[in-house]
Structure 1
Amino acid sequence: MNKIFNPLRRLHFYAAFFITPLLLTLSLTGIGYLFYTNVENNIYHHEFFSDSDTKGHQSLDDAVQEIKEVYKGYEIQKISIMDEPYNNRVTIGNDDGESRYIFLDEHNQRVANQNAQYTYANVLRETHSSLMVGGSFVNYLVELAACWTIFMIISGVYLTFKSKALKKTNKKTSFLFNRRVHAILGLIIAIPIFVIVLTGLPWSAFMGKQINQFAEDHPKLGYSALKSNPPQSEDNELPWATRNKEKPTSKKDPHAEHHGASNSLIGAEGQQSIENIIVQAENKNIKKPFSIVYPADDKGVFTVSKSSNTGVTGLDVAPKEETTAYFDQYSGKLLDQVDYEDYGIVGKWFSFGIPLHEGHLFGTANKVINLLVCLTFIGGIVFGFLSWMRRKNAGSFGAPPQMKGRVPIGLIAFLIVLGIIMPLFGASLIIVAIVEYFIWRKNKKKV
């Protein structure tokens, strides 16, 4: 047993030691994000529910044109048509990557505007996924922490059953108590944490691309429209399975004169009004809430979508209600529609998995369960830290000793399999092996 137990315990310790700060950050921001709808309903009550001081009614299309005139340099990215009692929301953005939300009351008058970057939900989400820093390195670092968490779950369960951590003893020491509690908490949350990590991987920088590519290459298991990159631009409220689906094109009226195109083609001659597109969508049984994206050019289409993972308070729907519909911008005719039933198994799994991860798949119960899992996970980290502090001698690092002799082939095979499944984990293992080799060489010279 020691040939596998010792090196696995050493790897488990190093994983816990180096990624604990990041795991605590992910857990705490995850807890904050669980309740973002509750928080935003209170702190943004004016934006979400109040009426404008401006009296009178105007059409939604007039409101959009007014926003274009008031916010020079910004383009209309999408319009979120909300169900009562929420105000509709117009998302605008400029070439510098800045986005704002413009809220409209029932008379389509402007109530307020927000800087999208600094809303509660977006700050928590950006901190959780990229530590508010962004960039590939940080995204890979967060994904690496998730991969090592999976390793810690598997190795922790093995170490718990192979050690005497769960056995009662007559010895009453703080070390044994902390180790026992650490082991018990680890077993309690092993499966829930595994599910939470697994359902978060579709958004990861590296494995997310691999999952999308696999789904695209295997239509029977996935969905041919799944692509490799998570949403980053104007379609970031589309369902996960159709965010990069190639959109059909409108049939341009040969008798109409269309004069060029902008980034968002709004109010072009012969184009349907946004209010008419709403009517067409509702006639096709697409009920509020949903988002509308304007055509990008004179061949583009109106894209109407309902998603279970929008990240917008009041806009999420149940996974089976997901749909993405494309309407001809000149005739208003429905050209194509992709519903939840059209997804492959991967698309369906993540349509459920992402809201499960975010805590809104089955209402308040989902939030409470995720909260308890996160708190238990943090508790396990704390008791693991206390156990280490009680075990290590003063002036020493307290890491489990290196195993003497060769590492068992079974352990090597296990790590290789995990490294193939999680390439970032595999790459980091190579670095660990190099470091361990130099530590071994150094210790050997001292003998």
Structure 2
Amino acid sequence: MEITKNNYNRLWRWHFYAALFITPLLITLTLSGIGYLFYTNVENHFYKKNFFGNSGQTEQSTIDEGIKKATEAHKNYSVSKVIVLKDSYNTRLTMTRPDGDQKYVFLDQNYQIVGSQNAKYTFSNVMRNVHSSLFVGGTVVNYLVELAACWAIFLLLSGIYMTFRSHALKRMQNPNKRQKSLKWHALIGTIIAIPMIIVIFTGLPWSAFMGNFIYSAAQNKPSIGFPLLKQNPPISDMSEIPWATRKNETPESTSSHAGHHDMAGMEGMKHNSSMITVRQLMSEIDNHRISKPYSIIYPSGNNSVFTVSKSSNTGITGLDVSPYQEITTYFDPYSGKPISEVVYDDYGILAKWFTWGIPLHEGHLFGWMNKTLNFIVCLAFLLVIFWGFKTWLARKRKSLLSAPPVHSNKISIGFIAFMAILGMVMPLFGISLLVVVMIECLITWCKRGKGNKISLTN
């Protein structure tokens, strides 16, 4: 019984400190996650002119003439991607400057310029950057965000244990304010625990530490991940292609024209008369029966190829498709013929799982129901945080932190096993756990030293 009580007290203590330190991050991530859930609705409304409007010019141009006009209108920028959406949407060009700055330029049905956007400050990109890196970026911040997500899982699991161990849901006669807050905190936390854990885990493939680990496993183990296209680099920044193939090496062009032009990047290749036009490529795409919406990523070198893809997790309004429809096809830039292709059925179980998991996390896997469920879970999570702090404030003594006490240093095997499993499943959490253990040991050592000093004085 004593060991069980020690487990409860230690979990309560760690639950308390974790909540205290990561709650500001959790609130930020949850609010930005809610914003990202509805980015398509927001952008369809606020960017209506760019997305669906027209230039007012009736002259019909080709896609290549539209691209040329966009390049002339935006000096020092070159087109790196063409986003071909369904008929109701305008065509979107991603234009990139040598320093990495990007613009989105929209062409109407006549391929005339409608307008442009600064890519960094679109609603979807702002929400995504806040959600993933607090709009600051950098490895340390990315790790901090991931760490908050990992400790949130610990909070949910430890909360379930404490709820049932302390009978927090038991009906009470004349409960006080603290008991009422605790009951609501425990009840809502228990209800949303599993959905929230699913939401968090399906977002981890994009994380800095665990995300790279997952992707490396999928890349190195084709049987559970995805088939590698064993062709030559370089590759371009393919943020709109499927998660399962975005780091694959693109195949080389096999055309004899490739060896005759020593040029790097599309900025040089656009002057190459031997290369097919985007209009011709789109005709080949139609012949290959790739339907809209899809993205075209330009070649990045003289031996590189066009990459055409349909993805379930693009982050682009109007571009997402069902996981079953995912496809990444490579076209020769000179002949226009498809060289190789990766489809959903080629993925291993791990790649398939996250191909479903990411749109589930983003809230568009099964339409409005997915969006609504994610929204409810996020709101409930904010309420859990609110009632948790109300519970703490109700028991907090003035000028004191009022942290849960530790009655003993004894730790059960069950407790160690629980924390070890979480540490192995979430490596960054495991590393932070070692730091927490060292801090706990240091606090205990200081208390013992203080006690011995008092004893000697007496």
TM-score, structure 1 as length reference: 0.95
Are positions 1:252 and 2:263 aligned together?
no
Question: SS at the partner of 1:65?
Answer: helix
Are positions 1:390 and 2:397 aligned together?
no
Q: CA deviation at 1:76?
A: 1.3
Query: Equivalent residue for 1:424?
Result: 428
| Further displaced range: 85-94 or 270-279 | 270-279
Are positions 1:45 and 2:48 aligned together?
yes
Are positions 1:117 and 2:120 aligned together?
yes
State how far apart, in whole Å, the 2-side matches of 1:118 and 1:38 are.
17
Question: SS at the partner of 1:241?
Answer: coil
Query: Equivalent residue for 2:219?
Result: 216
Question: SS at the partner of 2:256?
Answer: coil
Are positions 1:366 and 2:370 aligned together?
yes
| Further displaced range: 309-318 or 210-219 | 210-219
| Further displaced range: 247-256 or 134-143 | 247-256
State how far apart, in whole Å, the 2-side matches of 1:336 and 1:307 are.
17
Are positions 1:157 and 2:150 aligned together?
no
Query: Equivalent residue for 1:229?
Result: none
Q: CA deviation at 1:431?
A: 1.6
Check 1:56–1:6 CA distance in 2 against 1; reply closer, same or farther (3 A cut): same
Are positions 1:34 and 2:45 aligned together?
no
Q: CA deviation at 1:176?
A: 0.7
Q: How does 1:28-427 map to 2 (within 5 A)?
A: 28-225=31-228, 234-253=237-256, 258=261, 260-264=263-267, 265-427=269-431
- Deviations along 1:182-241, one digit per CA (max 9) or x if unpaired, are 000011101100000000000000000110111123222222439xxxxx9631000001
Query: Equivalent residue for 2:10?
Result: 7
State how far apart, in whole Å, the 2-side matches of 1:341 and 1:402 are.
53
Name structure 2 gaps, 5 residues minimum: 230-234, 452-458
Contact 1:259 1:268 in 2 (8 A): no
Sequence identity of aligned pairs in percent? 48
State how far apart, in whole Å, the 2-side matches of 1:254 and 1:83 are.
33
Amino acid at match of 1:381: I
Q: CA deviation at 1:243?
A: 0.5
Q: How does 1:434-445 map to 2 (within 5 A)?
A: 434-445=438-449
Contact 1:258 1:269 in 2 (8 A): no
| Further displaced range: 48-57 or 199-208 | 48-57
| Further displaced range: 267-276 or 368-377 | 267-276
State how far apart, in whole Å, the 2-side matches of 1:281 and 1:174 are.
65
Question: SS at the partner of 1:373?
Answer: helix
| Further displaced range: 250-259 or 49-58 | 250-259
Contact 1:79 1:91 in 2 (8 A): yes
Amino acid at match of 1:3: N
Name structure 1 gaps, 5 residues minimum: 227-231
Q: CA deviation at 1:94?
A: 1.1
TM-score, structure 2 as length reference: 0.93
Q: CA deviation at 1:334?
A: 1.0
- Deviations along 1:365-388, one digit per CA (max 9) or x if unpaired, are 111110000000000110010001
Check 1:414–1:40 CA distance in 2 against 1; reply closer, same or farther (3 A cut): same
| Further displaced range: 260-269 or 192-201 | 260-269
Amino acid at match of 2:405: P
Question: SS at the partner of 1:325?
Answer: strand
Q: State how many pairs are aligned.
A: 443
Q: CA deviation at 1:257?
A: 5.3
Question: SS at the partner of 1:91?
Answer: strand
State how far apart, in whole Å, the 1-side matches of 2:41 and 2:227 are.
36
- Deviations along 1:222-280, one digit per CA (max 9) or x if unpaired, are 22439xxxxx9631000001101111111233599536343453252211111111111
Q: CA deviation at 1:341?
A: 0.9
Amino acid at match of 1:393: R
- Structure 1 outlier segments of 4+, above 4 Å: 254-257
State how far apart, in whole Å, the 2-side matches of 1:89 and 1:423 are.
39
Q: CA deviation at 1:3?
A: 2.2
- Deviations along 1:378-408, one digit per CA (max 9) or x if unpaired, are 0011001000111122222111102313222
Say which of 28, 35, 49 aligns to 1:25.
28
Amino acid at match of 2:76: G
Q: CA deviation at 1:36?
A: 0.5
State how far apart, in whole Å, the 1-side matches of 2:117 and 2:133 are.
22
State how far apart, in whole Å, the 2-side matches of 1:102 and 1:255 are.
29
Amino acid at match of 1:18: F
State how far apart, in whole Å, the 1-side matches of 2:427 and 2:259 are.
54
Amino acid at match of 1:361: L
Question: SS at the partner of 2:376?
Answer: helix
| Further displaced range: 57-66 or 196-205 | 57-66
State how far apart, in whole Å, the 2-side matches of 1:117 and 1:217 are.
33
State how far apart, in whole Å, the 2-side matches of 1:445 and 1:11 are.
23
